[in-house]
Amino acid sequence: GKLSRRSSRSSKIHPIDSMISISVSSFTDSVPSFPVQNLDQLYARSVVVLPIFLRKVIAIGSDWRGYCCNEHANNSGKEYVPYKDLDKSSPVVENVYFSSIKNVQRSVEKILTFLNGDVSQLTDVVRQSIFFDNLEDLNGALKQIMEDHEIEVVFIRNRLSCACSGYRDITINICFIHDVAIQTNLLGHICEIRLALMEMHSLISPAKHQEYLHRKLVLQSRR
């Protein structure tokens, strides 16, 4: 994703009901910005950051009673598995679905359609969702992310109060700023965490997802 600079840790934590879309980071000049120039570079970094990112998501999900979604290939519905159970060996856990690195074709479409051809603006090549039973746990996870000294929160978008074609969630763009990120040249590589309520997510269907994509295209064409 787009490379940024290290921020101070004084970011304000906003109440969920007051957030629409807010830029959180207050960048300093201590770490230079090196935007990615092409998809090869972006995807090479994504492969490296993915396991680091998933470990962080699993830890947050486990701490706040979060769930990951297992969507059955035979369209028989969705099953939600607690993140805290992912270290257990069972058929359900073995079939848990983690979001893979974003499909290249979809990335190209998004870059050309929504990002004016700027590869460095694509921030969701690496992404994962955490689902919750209630807003209290969701808010706790959000607060933990905001206060985590290993990551920098760059941007938050709240769709809990204003649904978009059935989607209600909080999208958080983060990047890692710890020693491993420095050593592996990942400073500023942005990933996406989505926090959502399980009950709402269970209502989303493939048709709703296509409606969402179509709506985005229509809105973009009107600009």
pLDDT digits (tens, 9 = 90+) for 109-156: 889 988 989 998 999 999 999 999 999 999 999 999 999 999 999 999
CB 93 within 8 A of CB 76: no
pLDDT of the residue at 13: 45
In this prediction the pTM is 0.79
Check pLDDT > 60 for residue 60. Answer: yes
CA–CA separation, 145 vs 140, rounded Å? 9
Max CA pair span of the chain: 51
CB 79 within 8 A of CB 69: yes
pLDDT of the residue at 85: 86
Tokens, residue 79: 């099953």
Confidence band (pLDDT; 50, 70, 90) for 201?
Answer: confident
Per DSSP, which regions of the chain are E strands?
A: 21-23, 67-71, 78-82, 127-132, 151-158, 170-176, 191-197
Confidence band (pLDDT; 50, 70, 90) for 187?
Answer: confident
Domains defined for the chain, CATH in brackets? 16-221 (3.30.460.10)
Check pLDDT > 60 for residue 91. Answer: no
Order of strands across the sheet that contains 151-158: 21-23, 151-158, 170-176, 191-197, 127-132, 67-71, 78-82
Check pLDDT > 70 for residue 208. Answer: no
